[in-house]
Structure 1
Amino acid sequence: MPAVKEMTSGRPLPLILNFSVPLLLGNMLQQTYSIVDAAIVGQCLGINALASVGASGSVIFLILGFCNGCCGGFAIPVAQKFGARDYRSMRRLVAMSFKVSGIMAVLVAAVTCVLCPYILHWMQTPEVIFSDANAYLFVTFLGIPATLFYNLLSSVIRALGDSKTPSWFLLFSTVLNIVLDLVCILVLGWGVAGAAIATVVAQAVSAVLCYVYMKKKFAILHMQEGDNRWHAGLARTLLSVGVPMGLQYSITAIGSIMLQSSNNALGENYISAFTAAMRIKMFCMCPLDSLGMAMATYCGQNFGAGHPHRIWAGIKDASKLMLLYSAFMAVVLWSGAHIFARLFISSHEQVVIGYTSRFLHVSVSFFVALGVLSILRYSIQGAGYTKLAMGSGVSEMIARVAVSVLAVPAWGYWAICFGDPIAWCCACLFLVPAFFYVYRQMKRRLQVQPV
């Protein structure tokens, strides 16, 4: 039986690092889904097809980010009850999270599938790629239940200190996704829609395997009499934490949609470059996201156990890891951005490769700001202050909208490249004082114990 793991004692750095590594593998595998889709589409179907996949990327982030953010939020009370060793309440919260997520999955999938063409028109998607973009978006939204349940299951397991198990299932699904991509696109000739179908099927398999394994192997999650009943109070608890966390992603994505809409209006070459650069950037961001996710579980458990000083020690250790990685990636992307761009774009498309490299050079120069954002935002969420953490999402949204409306008309693609870094810096201006406020509140509310 896999062991749940408490992070409420011992040196923070080894705990955070050991917990982050399997998360990193999982995140990198998840981004491999996107990279494989884009690489096969770009190399086999051309840059217009690649633009079709990327034209709605920020909308997909808006919807899936909300769903996945809610799932991550649902796991926070689970982690807190686990840290407090209140296992009955923990199981009841897990049971309710499945019910609430099921309702959410059906409603969101139904509404978004109907709205696909209207969304693409609003985003100024060029007519030459509209049909393929609509097919890709529709299939992706149809697969929302699979994506949502995998993320819920993996979030619950991570809340118990096990970050390895979901990654193994995701590894299997990544291999499956690559095989299905090749079959759907090259053998069956389903084009751009085939790439989306491959990803949805792979995620569904991952969700099923994760559920079966969790049900058989995690005795601490075996339901007892009364645990599966509908509890309105627990549903409100989950929604009060999960919805603000989901909305934070959505609010952030609104700014990204504005930025991508402005980029779409620049033409197919810019859309292709933006699509390739975003895939590479998201992959390179995985260690920072993983570190943040580890801090959410670490802070959630230590908050539940009443150890605020351990949270502060964890923040300092996580920041050291972040600085080392940011320096490493600066060297890698400044020297090799054009090489990575060729994974998606044919070598004769030198203009598009140049635009992709420019975007990556600007982004990696601000990875320290992104690292601070990830560590502090997830730490605040892990302590249960998800509504406060929404403020950082609002800051990002305002920054991206301002760049889209004021800067892009004047400076074009250069402004697009600086859109995300400016948003990260604005979020940090909010998060740094917000964290110190949360830390003071925790010390007042919790019994302080020595590190």
Structure 2
Amino acid sequence: MGTMPVNRLLISMSLPMVVAMVIQALYNIVDSLFVARLGEDALTAVSLAFPIQNAMIAIATGTGVGINALLSKSLGEKNFKEANRTANNGIFLGFLSYLLFLVFGLIGSRWFFAIQTDIGPIVDYGFDYLFIITVAGFGVFGQITFDRLLQATGRSFYTMLTQGTGAIINIILDPIFIFGLFGFPALGVKGAALATVIGQWIAMALSIIFNLRFNHDIRISLKGFRPNLFTIKGIYSVGVPSIIMASIGSVMNFGVNKILLALSSTAAAVFGVYYKLQSFIFMPVFGINNGLVPIIAYNFGARKKDRIKKSIICGFAYATAIMVLGFLIFQIFPARLLALFNASDTMIEIGVRALRVISISFIGAGFCIITSTVLQALFNSKLSMFVSIARQLVVLLPAAFILSEIGGLRLVWWSFPIAEIASVCLSAVFLRKVYNKEVRHLSPDWAETPIYPESRP
């Protein structure tokens, strides 16, 4: 982390995550492809469940970012005691996060759909799907938590195996459970949910095994464990802003769905399909993101200014290239992409315009994602949170509502490029501020002392 050439290090750290996340995006799309064969109501129901699924992933990954950053910084400072404490407290926090969604799944699954629509089949499909995803969702929290321990210690290859295996199992089980192949009962949307959680369980089990057998930089032991509030505070100092940033996406998604449902249930299905498709573009960038956080955090702890700067530049270059490619795909092939989901003529008519307009925002999104990563790795996550709030709640949702009132579906999609322009401007301002404050004045000739005092025992 402190000696390998930066470009090669970023590729070696990120490539396994990119591959894993592309597979992850594939199984998200395959999930919807099979559900779409059940009808547009089933597809809409799964789309409306996305905010809760996203919230689960947001809390798991946000906490994971905090674990990753604090653990990498501790290793960079050679503070191995705090590194072990971070790992064990991170596992504890992942379990608490699951309990939150267990309670929601038991008492709030049907209510969540009933407040969005009064279309009976959508509510029934949605309840069946969301109940299983939440109540049996401990796998997603366990997998992400243990994967972050592997990433923070430079073992991203194993996370490719865990995520890839879970995704492939999900893809295989989807048609079997949904349509009742090989003697299994046809479970419909319940089958899609069951295939998802089984994939998560197996991925979690693999991640635990890889940590115990191959991750020798930390020692995982819950025997006699007691939560350490100082360490938990350190994790959440980075993690909470990340959780809020990602959860804001759920709020935005919920709000946009409400706006679209007032215009057309087909438009809500289009929006759900867009989110499945765009994951193919964004997931590789998030893979770079996950590889970049420990590199910057480690070299920040080790006071290596040049490596931090090179890491940021490489991150920007790769992320921008991926997003421009995604923009071109959405501009050239929108009808073909929608046809994958058994789209009706009406859905294609609405969706072609939606995909082309929304994808304009891709051009600036790579810069914003990497900037957010840099701010988190340099322990300025609150600024990332501010950008996310401004983009999705202050700009995007009000713009979507106003444009829907002015021009209906034809204009509502323009709220995404408008919001991205605001995000790029804020990200540029904050990146310059934090870089000048935290990195510019670092010198490799400084004494090799930790940036922050060693944690309390």
Q: Is this a same-fold pair by TM over 0.5?
A: yes
User: What is the CA–CA distance in structure 1 between the aligned matches of 2:265 and 2:323, rounded to whole Å?
Assistant: 31
Counterpart mapping for 1:19-98 below 5 A? 19-43=13-37, 45-98=38-91
Deviations 1:232-281 (A, max 9, x none): 22122222222221112112332222112111222232122222222111
Say whether 1:247 aligns with 2:247. no
Deviations 1:160-182 (A, max 9, x none): 12221111122222221122211
Aligned to 1:401: 397
Q: Which amino acid aligns with 1:398?
A: V
Q: Say which of 405, 410, 417 aligns to 1:421.
A: 417
Please tell me the root mean square deviation across aligned C-alpha atoms, in Å. 2.3
User: What is the CA–CA distance in structure 1 between the aligned matches of 2:91 and 2:105, rounded to whole Å?
Assistant: 21
- Give aligned pairs, total: 441
Structure 1 residues 219 and 11 mapped into 2: Cα distance closer, same or farther (>3 Å)?
A: closer
User: What is the CA–CA distance in structure 1 between the aligned matches of 2:408 and 2:396, rounded to whole Å?
Assistant: 14
Aligned to 2:94: 101
Deviates more, 1:405-414 or 1:29-38: 405-414
Aligned to 1:141: 134
Counterpart mapping for 1:266-345 below 5 A? 266-345=263-342
Q: Say which of 210, 213, 228 aligns to 2:210.
A: 213
Q: Which amino acid aligns with 1:37?
A: D
Q: Which amino acid aligns with 1:163?
A: S
User: What is the CA–CA distance in structure 1 between the aligned matches of 2:34 and 2:222, rounded to whole Å?
Assistant: 50
Q: Secondary structure at the match of 1:146?
A: helix
Cα shift at 1:444: 7.1
Structure 1 residues 247 and 445 mapped into 2: Cα distance closer, same or farther (>3 Å)?
A: farther
Q: Say which of 439, 442, 449 aligns to 1:443.
A: 439
Q: Which amino acid aligns with 2:13?
A: F
Contact persistence 1:79–1:297 (CA under 8 A): yes
Q: Note the residue ranges of structure 2 that are not aligned, 5 or more in a row.
A: 447-457
Contact persistence 1:12–1:310 (CA under 8 A): yes
Aligned to 2:112: 119
Structure 1 residues 421 and 23 mapped into 2: Cα distance closer, same or farther (>3 Å)?
A: farther
Contact persistence 2:105–2:130 (CA under 8 A): no
User: What is the CA–CA distance in structure 1 between the aligned matches of 2:199 and 2:223, rounded to whole Å?
Assistant: 34
Deviates more, 1:232-241 or 1:388-397: 232-241
User: What is the CA–CA distance in structure 2 between the aligned matches of 1:203 and 1:323, rounded to whole Å?
Assistant: 30
Q: Say which of 372, 378, 385 aligns to 1:383.
A: 378
Q: Which amino acid aligns with 1:442?
A: E
Contact persistence 2:97–2:141 (CA under 8 A): no
Structure 1 residues 113 and 306 mapped into 2: Cα distance closer, same or farther (>3 Å)?
A: farther
Say whether 1:154 aligns with 2:151. no
Normalised TM-score (structure 1): 0.91
User: What is the CA–CA distance in structure 1 between the aligned matches of 2:106 and 2:337, rounded to whole Å?
Assistant: 33
Cα shift at 1:185: 0.9
Deviations 1:404-435 (A, max 9, x none): 33122222223442333333322222221111
Structure 1 residues 108 and 48 mapped into 2: Cα distance closer, same or farther (>3 Å)?
A: closer
Contact persistence 2:21–2:163 (CA under 8 A): no
Deviates more, 1:312-321 or 1:180-189: 312-321
Normalised TM-score (structure 2): 0.90
Q: Secondary structure at the match of 2:117?
A: coil
Q: Which amino acid aligns with 2:424?
A: C
Residue identity over aligned pairs, in percent, reads 19
Cα shift at 1:225: 11
Cα shift at 1:134: 1.7
Q: Secondary structure at the match of 2:410?
A: helix
Cα shift at 1:88: 2.2
Say whether 1:358 aligns with 2:353. yes
Structure 1 residues 290 and 424 mapped into 2: Cα distance closer, same or farther (>3 Å)?
A: farther
Contact persistence 1:71–1:148 (CA under 8 A): no
Q: Secondary structure at the match of 1:230?
A: coil
Contact persistence 2:65–2:238 (CA under 8 A): no
Cα shift at 1:192: 1.0
Deviations 1:74-93 (A, max 9, x none): 22101111222222211111
